[in-house]
Amino acid sequence: MRYEIGTFVHVCARGTRGLPIVHDDQDRWHFLELLYYCNHTESRRNLFRKLQESKEENKTKKLFFWPPVWREREPIVSVVTYALVENHYHLLLQERVENGISRFMQKIGIGFAKYYNQKYKTKGNLFQGRYRAKVVDTDEYLSYVSAYIQAKNILEVYPGGLGSALSNLEKSFQWATEYPFGSLGDYVGARKFPIVEKSVLGDMFSSPASYQKFAKECVKGMNLKEKLGKLTLE
């Protein structure tokens, strides 16, 4: 699907037949690596083998290391928020170049399926058809979608589930900000991964504390479905 440059799109991809797409933290970290390294105008063969070789040459184990001999990174989308759970993932993306979202999602889908099939010695489709997508066309939708993706979805994997998370929201929300496989921590000052582009929500909220308050109220009030309708991509 084609989008105008600047368009925000909420996308979701699920495992085929609802099966898990990740089984351990190695899988989860690899997915985050794909979000970073696939978001570039170039497509590089044997990307992770060459990356590992460059890390060894530069004597580094730095997360999200960009080899100095590689061309300067040129993102094709802005990743505004992300959430990875056991059998699906959500992304809030902004189109930066023509066909950027389509190219990015193709890279992610092919790259992760190849990794999964090689690691687990499986064949066939990892994901349930084409990813689902909804255009986010107002600032209100944008703010609520962001909270839905990186707060509500991550709290659903809190020990004991969403009900347990809501019974002690201060504790569970802190847990969610420290959970690396969702982007919430980048917005409340807990970390600075180079995956997300924070300026969009940064322009809408005066401070990390104000966004944190908004996200908590969204989850606590459980009015996200009412606000978002079909944009939740359940």
Residue 190 has pLDDT above 90, yes or no: no
- Enumerate residues 6+ apart whose C-beta is below 8 A from 116: 21, 27, 122, 126
Measured CA to CA, the distance from residue 218 to residue 138 in angstroms comes to: 17
The answer to whether 213 touches 220, Cβ cutoff 8 Å, is: no
- Enumerate residues 6+ apart whose C-beta is below 8 A from 133: 1, 9, 10, 11, 12, 101
> Are residue 171 and residue 204 in the same domain, yes or no?
yes
Q: What is the DSSP letter of 1?
A: -
- Return the SS3 of 218: helix
> Are residue 179 and residue 204 in the same domain, yes or no?
yes
> Are residue 126 and residue 169 in the same domain, yes or no?
no
Specify if 61 maps to a domain. yes
State pLDDT tens for residues 5-53.
999 999 999 999 889 999 999 999 999 999 999 999 998 889 999 999 9
> Are residue 142 and residue 53 in the same domain, yes or no?
no
The parent domain of residue 173 ranges over 138-227
> Are residue 119 and residue 159 in the same domain, yes or no?
no
Q: What pLDDT was estimated at residue 2? A: 86
Q: What pLDDT was estimated at residue 189? A: 76
> Are residue 58 and residue 126 in the same domain, yes or no?
yes
Q: What is the DSSP letter of 182?
A: B
Q: What is the DSSP letter of 44?
A: -
> Are residue 128 and residue 153 in the same domain, yes or no?
no
User: What confidence category does residue 210 fall into, taking pLDDT thresholds of 50, 70 and 90?
Assistant: very high
- Enumerate residues 6+ apart whose C-beta is below 8 A from 188: 177, 208, 209, 211, 212
Specify if 154 maps to a domain. yes
